[in-house]
């Protein structure tokens, strides 16, 4: 292949790459807008209208069902983590707290890392970091269960934001 033809191919492929990246950007922007629309419909428009109509559930002509349930978002900030975990522990629910042990190694220390995985602290003087965490879905389920039991949960400590949420279920067979 001649030099001119090769350069022409490089140019065409570069143009295709540019066009593909632009397409991805457009799709991502459209996806972000579509997700925001879904959130607005689920959390605001449908729950508000159904509340006005004093409805919790409704069945459409095609057999689809729409319902409004209470949902919530929750998260624990780094600042609130010690107090929130202490609150959970005092309730005797510390089984939801996971402990993570991690150690950082340099690039050239792979073999030492493998050996250490077998004999945790015996082979190196590396500092070991212990972290506790609660998976976000575990936290959400835990908080929902406590609220269902009418337990007073500290709102700020767990970053609670309750909201109504509409759910749409397609007819059976779809």
Q: Is the pTM of this model over 0.75?
A: no
Element (H, E) at 16: helix 3-40
Domain spans, the chain: 1-69, 101-128
% of the chain beyond a pLDDT of 90:
74
Q: pLDDT value at position 94?
A: 93
pLDDT in tens, 76-125: 999 999 999 999 999 999 999 988 777 777 878 888 877 777 777 665 66
Q: What is the mean pLDDT of residues 5-23?
A: 95
Query: Given pLDDT bands bounded at 50, 70 and 90, which one contains residue 29?
Result: very high
Q: What is the mean pLDDT of residues 14-18?
A: 97
């Amino acid at each position: 292949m001649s030099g001119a033809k090769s350069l022409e191919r490089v140019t065409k492929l570069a143009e295709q790459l540019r066009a593909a990246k632009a397409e991805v950007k457009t799709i991502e922007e459209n996806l972000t807008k579509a997700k925001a629309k879904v959130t607005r419909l689920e959390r605001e428009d449908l729950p508000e209208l159904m509340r006005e109509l004093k409805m919790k559930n409704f069945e459409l002509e095609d057999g689809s069902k729409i319902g409004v349930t209470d949902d919530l978002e929750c998260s624990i900030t780094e600042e609130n983590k010690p107090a929130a975990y202490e609150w959970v522990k005092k309730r005797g629910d510390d089984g939801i707290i996971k402990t993570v042990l991690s150690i950082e190694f340099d690039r050239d220390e792979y073999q030492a890392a493998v050996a250490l995985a077998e004999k945790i602290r015996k082979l190196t003087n590396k500092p070991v970091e212990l972290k506790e965490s609660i998976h976000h879905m575990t936290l959400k389920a835990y908080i929902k269960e406590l609220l269902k039991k009418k337990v007073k949960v500290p709102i700020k400590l767990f970053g609670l934001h309750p909201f109504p949420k509409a759910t749409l279920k397609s007819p059976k067979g779809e």
